[in-house]
Amino acid sequence: MSLKVVPQAIEIRNNKIEFDNLLFFIVDSNSSVKIEPLIGYDAIIIDSKDAEFAKLILKKIRGHYNPEFYLKPVFLINYKESKDPILHSLNDGFIHSYDQLKEIADVAKQIFLKTTQLDYQLVATFEAQMMKKVLNFMFTRDLKTLKPIPDLNSVIGYTYPAISVNFDSSEETQVLEILEWGEREGLVWPDFHERIYLCNQCSGGFLSYREVCPHCNSSNSSAQDLVHHFPCAYIGPLSDFQNNVDNALTCPKCNKALRHIGVDYDKPSIIHHCNNCDKNFQDFFVKAKCISCTQDVEVQYLIPKAINVYKLTKRGRTAASNGFLSTGKEVEDIFGTLTMAVFKTMLHYEIERIKENPEQQKSSIVIVNIENIFELYKKVGKKAEKTILESIVNLIRENVRPTDFIAFENSSTMYLGLINSDALQSEATLENLKTLIEKLIKNNFNDFSANINFKVKLLQPFNKSEFQLQELTKDLFD
C-alpha cells in the first residue's frame, strides 16, 4: 500500500492536528512565510521537503525576539540529513510519518515544562539580552555546550547556530562578541577549538593567503634554490647548473660537475623571481586577500580570534531559570543620568518633600521603554549603543527641567522623575519626547522606526518609592 497511513485518531484539517491536548500546525511550502499567525499553536511541524523553505521558517522562528516564538517546539517531517547548521541544530526532532506524533508530543511537553521555570526578568544590555535568549533556549532543550560548526555561509567560516540565527551570516563576528561577553560574565567557559584570522576591514574570515612580490604585490612568482659552488665561488640559481639533457649539475663558471652537497657545493638560500615585474627577491610578503571585500591585507594586520567550544558554567546553567544580574556598567556612566540606586534615593527625598503639602506639590514618575531598540543595536553594532543612549538623554535633558532626574534600568528602559509636574503635564511632556526620540532615531538610523512605550504615574506621598516603581513597571509591561 503506497498511501500514507494516518491512524484514525489523527486528523489533519487545514494543516492543523490536535493530538494529546496539543495543537500542532504543519507548515509546508504552500504556507505563508509569515510566522506571526503561528503564535496560537503549541508546536510546529515543518515539512522540509523543500529544505530552503523549511530553513527560512525555522530561522524566522528561532530568530524572533519573542520567547513565544523562539522557544516554540519545532519538528521536521520529510527531513533529509542536511548540512545546514540551522536546520540541523535548531529543530527539536524529526519524524518520518505522523505515526510518530506521540514521540514529539512528549518532547514538546518536556519543553513546556522547562519553559515555565524560566525567568523573564528584563536584562540590561543587548549582549545580555542575546545571551539570555540563548540560555533560555539551551535550558529548555537541555543543551550544555555551544559548538562551533564549520559553515561556508558564515563570513568567519564558523557558526554557533543558537546565537547565529539572530544574525545575518554577514554579522557573524557579532556572535563572537556576544560569546566573549558571556565569557567575561562567567556564563560560559571557553575550550579552545581553533584560531581564525579576520579581515581588518570587513571582519571576513574567507582569506586567500599568498606569497607576493614585495615590489609589485603580484603573486605570480617562482622560487629556486641558490647554489654556491665552493671551488670557484660561483653562486646562482639552480637552473644555472642544469642542462636540458640529463640530471647532472654542472658549474657554469668552471664546468665542473657538482658532486656532493656540503662538500663542494651547498644551497645557502632561496630566491624568488617575480614574473610580473621581473625583479628577484628573497623576502616575499605574505598577504591575505579577503574574498568578501577584496582587500589585500598584510598578515600582521589581520585580526586573530579564537573559535571556542563554549560550555555552560554553573552560573550559566542557573541564569536561565533564576535570571542574572549583568553588571550593567554600560548604562551607568551615561552623562546626565543617575544610577538606579541614586535615583531611588532622590525619589525617597521627593516623597518626603511632597508629604508636607500633598495638595499643592505634585510630581510624577515615568518609565520609558524602547521595545525594539535591541534590533537597532543589532543593526549598528554594539559600539553605537552608548552613543545612541547618550543622544537620547541629551534630547530629554533639553526638554525637561534641570531639577528633573533620569536613570537607566537597562539599555532599553529608563526612569524619569519629573518634579512639580502633575500627571497631565507629564503625559504631555512624554508625548512630545516620544515623538522627538522617534524622529531622532529615524533620522540617524536609516528610517528605523522605534517602538516607544511609556507610562506616567503621579508620585504618591504615602507609598515607598521601591513599590511605586514596581507598580509603574508592571503597568507598562502588562
Partner 1 sequence: MRFLDEFINYVSSVDAAKLFRMFWFFFIFEFFRFFLVEISTIIFWKFDSIFRKKGIADARLTLMKSQPLVSIIVPGRNEGKHIFKLVNSLKEQTYQNFELIVIDDGSDDDTPIICRNLEHLGMISAFYRNDVRGGKASAANLGLRYARGEFVIHFDADCSYDRDAIENILVPFYYNPKIGAVGGNVQVRNYKDSLCATLQALEYMDTISIGRITTSELGIYRVISGAFGAFRKEALDRLGGWDIGPGLDGDITVKIRKLGYIIHFEPTAVCQTSVPVTFKKLIRQRLRWDKSLIRFRLRKHRDVFYPNDSFKFSNFISFVENVTYNLILNVKWFFYLADMVFNFASQLIFIIPMNICLYTVNNFMKFLVFSPFRDRKNEGITYFLIYLPLMVFYFGYFLRIVRTTAYIQEIFFKASYKDNWNPAKSSRQAKIMKI
258 binds partner 1 (CB under 8 A): no
259 is an interface residue for partner 1 by CB under 8 A = no
The dihedral sign for the CA sequence 353, 359, 361, 363:
positive
Q: Which of 43, 175, 213, 302 binds Zn ion (CB under 5 A)?
A: 213
Residue 145 binds partner 1 (CB under 8 A): no
DSSP, res 338: B
d(CA 217, CA 78): 52
Do the Cβ atoms of 342 and 407 come closer than 8 Å? yes
Q: Which residues pair with residue 23 across a beta bridge?
A: 18
Q: Given the complex with Zn ion, which of 248 and 424 has the nearer CB atom? A: 248
Length of the chain: 478
How many chain residues touch Zn ion (CB under 5 A)?
21
For residue 425, give the DSSP letter. Answer: H
Rounded to a whole number of angstroms, the minimum distance from the CB of residue 266 to partner 1 is 6
Cα gap 73→92, rounded to integer Å: 6
Residue 385 DSSP code: H
Q: Considering the rule CB under 8 A, would residue 264 count as an interface residue with partner 1?
A: yes
Q: Which of 37, 150, 186, 231 binds partner 1 (CB under 8 A)?
A: 231
Partners of 226 in beta bridges: 237
Residue 268 touches partner 1, criterion: CB under 8 A: yes
Least gap, CB of 26 to Zn ion (angstroms): 42
Residue 226 sits in the site that holds partner 1 (CB under 8 A): yes
Return d(Cα 185, Cα 325) in angstroms, integer. 10
Q: Pick from 155, 150, 154, 172: which is nearest to 163 by CA?
A: 172
- Burial class of residue 356 in the structure, from the number of CB atoms within 10 Å of its CB (0-12 exposed, 13-18 middle, 19+ buried): exposed
Q: Does 201 bind Zn ion (CB under 5 A)?
A: yes
Taking CB within 5 to 8 Å according to partner kind, which of partner 1, Zn ion, none is near residue 386? Answer: none
Concatenating the DSSP letter of every residue in 38-93 gives GGG-SEEEEETTSHHHHHHHHHHHHH-SSHHHHTS-EEEES------HHHHHS-S-
Quick check: 225 binds partner 1 (CB under 8 A)? no
The three grid cell numbers given for residue 355, joined into one nine-digit string? 508629604
Least Å distance between CB 282 and Zn ion?
A: 13
230 binds, among partner 1, Zn ion, none (CB under 5 to 8 A by kind): partner 1
In the three-class reduction of DSSP (H, G, I as helix; E, B as strand; rest coil), residue 151 is classed as coil
Nearer to Zn ion, 218 or 318 (CB): 218
Using CB under 8 A as the binding rule, whether residue 461 contacts partner 1 is answered as: no
202 binds, among Zn ion, partner 1, none (CB under 5 to 8 A by kind): Zn ion
423 binds, among partner 1, Zn ion, none (CB under 5 to 8 A by kind): none
Does 253 engage in binding with partner 1 (CB under 8 A)? yes
Work out the angle at residue 230's Cα, subtended by the Cα atoms of residues 228 and 235, and round it to the nearest 5 degrees: 25
Residue of the chain from 109, 210, 215, 273 that contacts Zn ion (CB under 5 A): 215
- Contacted by 290, from partner 1, Zn ion, none: CB < 5 to 8 Å by type: Zn ion
Query: By C-beta, is 280 or 387 nearer to partner 1?
Result: 280
Q: Mark 181-200 with x for binding to Zn ion (rule: CB under 5 A) and - for no binding.
A: ------------------x-
Query: Does 7 help bind partner 1 (rule: CB under 8 A)?
Result: no
Q: Is 202 near Zn ion (CB under 5 A)? A: yes
In this chain, which of 206, 230, 234, 284 binds Zn ion, going by CB under 5 A?
A: 234
Q: Contact at 8 Å (CB) between 420 and 404?
A: no
Min dist. Cβ of residue 227 to Zn ion (A): 10
Q: Does 235 bind partner 1 (CB under 8 A)?
A: yes
Size of the site for partner 1 (CB under 8 A): 27
According to CB under 5 A, which one of 39, 248, 293, 424 is a site residue for Zn ion?
293
Are the C-beta atoms of 310 and 189 separated by less than 8 Å? yes
**Shorter beta-carbon distance to partner 1: residue 259 or 383:** 259
**413, 369 Cβ separation under 8 angstroms:** yes
Q: Which of 12, 23, 248, 254 binds Zn ion (CB under 5 A)?
A: 254
Whole-number minimum distance, CB 248 to partner 1, in Å? 18
**Is residue 266 close enough to count as binding partner 1 by CB under 8 A?**
yes
Residue 271 binds partner 1, judged by CB under 8 A: yes
Give the Cα-Cα-Cα angle 82, 86, 88 (nearest 5 degrees). Answer: 40
Q: C-alpha angle 478/393/176, rounded to 5°?
A: 75
DSSP 241-294: G--SSSS--B-TTT-PBP--BTTTEE---EEEEETTT--EES-PEEEEEETTT-
Answer yes or no whether residue 290 interacts with Zn ion by CB under 5 A: yes
Write the DSSP string, 6-23: --TT--EETTEEEETTEE
From 282, 403, 443, 449, residue interacting with partner 1 (rule: CB under 8 A): 282
Q: How far apart are CA 100 and CA 5, in angstroms?
A: 11
For binding to partner 1 (CB under 8 A), which residues are involved?
A: 214, 226, 228, 230-237, 240, 252-254, 262-264, 266, 268-269, 271, 279-283
Residues that bind Zn ion in the complex, under the rule CB under 5 A? 199, 201-202, 204, 213, 215-216, 218, 229, 232, 234, 251, 253-254, 274, 276-277, 290, 292-293, 295
